[in-house]
Amino acid sequence: MQAPAVTVDVVLFKLTERRLQVLFVRRGRPPFEGMWALPGGFVEANEPLEVAARRELEEETGLREVYLEQLHTFGDPGRDPRGWVISIAYLGLARPSSNAARAGDDAMDVAWFPVTALPALAFDHARMVALAQQRLQRRVRDGLLIFYLLPPCFTLSELQTAYETVLGEPLDKRNFRRKALRSGLLCETGELRTGEGRPAKRYTLCPDAETVWLRRLGLG
């Protein structure tokens, strides 16, 4: 009974400059040396999978406290030239303030790329990104995932832009605002965002959002 090696990989998304961006690291050794790849690596003995994903992400990029959910497990023979390696891929979401992708302990390059302009990727990582984006869109369409891509406080316009960026389609401002406000998920903070143009009210996801959301599904 031979056993495969087991790795985890993280497709980490972030919203900046009205672009959906994905995080990559440049590989420092073969195979695919010098190529861009998803942050990830081998699972350690008796390490829970999600813990491994967080550890690798932090080791390679310095990022912590992101949202993570399991995406899919890839196990096709031939997906890794080193031999039999299966990988559990995670979908990750980070806030716009997560610039902090430092060059990791291994002194690797780390960079965000717009999902519309990906570099050539190592292994089957392009497939992983494509699958992750699909899943992200579904989960944003009917879920609370969008809020993991926003700062804790935001204006309705920022929220709308976030949706538009992830879904890749424009939304009607009035319909959007009505729906957002009627959802019961948002609280005014009282603050205003000032700058260009008229000041905008700031909102937060209200504390019982999860509950409200589940209640909604439970009743219709």
- Residue 82 CB-density burial (10 A; 0-12 exposed, 13-18 middle, 19+ buried): exposed
CA gap 88, 38 in Å, rounded: 12
| Closer by beta carbon to a second copy, 45 or else 117 | 45
Output the six-digit token pair for 131: 């699958």
Using DSSP's 3-state secondary structure scheme, residue 214 falls into helix
103 membership: H or E segment, kind and range: none
Q: Is 18 a binder of DNA (CB under 7 A)?
A: no
From candidates 144, 156, 206, 209, binder to DNA by CB under 7 A: 156
Q: Is 130 a binder of a second copy (CB under 8 A)?
A: no
CA gap 63, 44 in Å, rounded: 19
| Mask for 50-79, x = binds a second copy (CB under 8 A) | --------------------x-xx-xxx--
Q: Is 49 a binder of a second copy (CB under 8 A)?
A: yes
Rounded least distance, CB 161 to a second copy, Å? 22
* Contact between residue 65 and residue 148 where contact means Cβ atoms under 8 Å apart: no
Question: Residue 116's binding partner, choosing from a second copy, DNA, none, with beta-carbon cut-off 5 to 8 A by kind?
Answer: none
Question: Residue 201's binding partner, choosing from DNA, a second copy, none, with beta-carbon cut-off 5 to 8 A by kind?
Answer: DNA
Q: Is 137 a binder of DNA (CB under 7 A)?
A: no
Dihedral over alpha carbons 141, 145, 56, 103 (to 10 degrees): 90
Interface residues with a second copy (CB under 8 A) are 1-6, 42-49, 70, 72-73, 75-77, 84, 86, 88
Binding site for DNA (CB under 7 A): 155-157, 172-175, 177-179, 194-201, 220
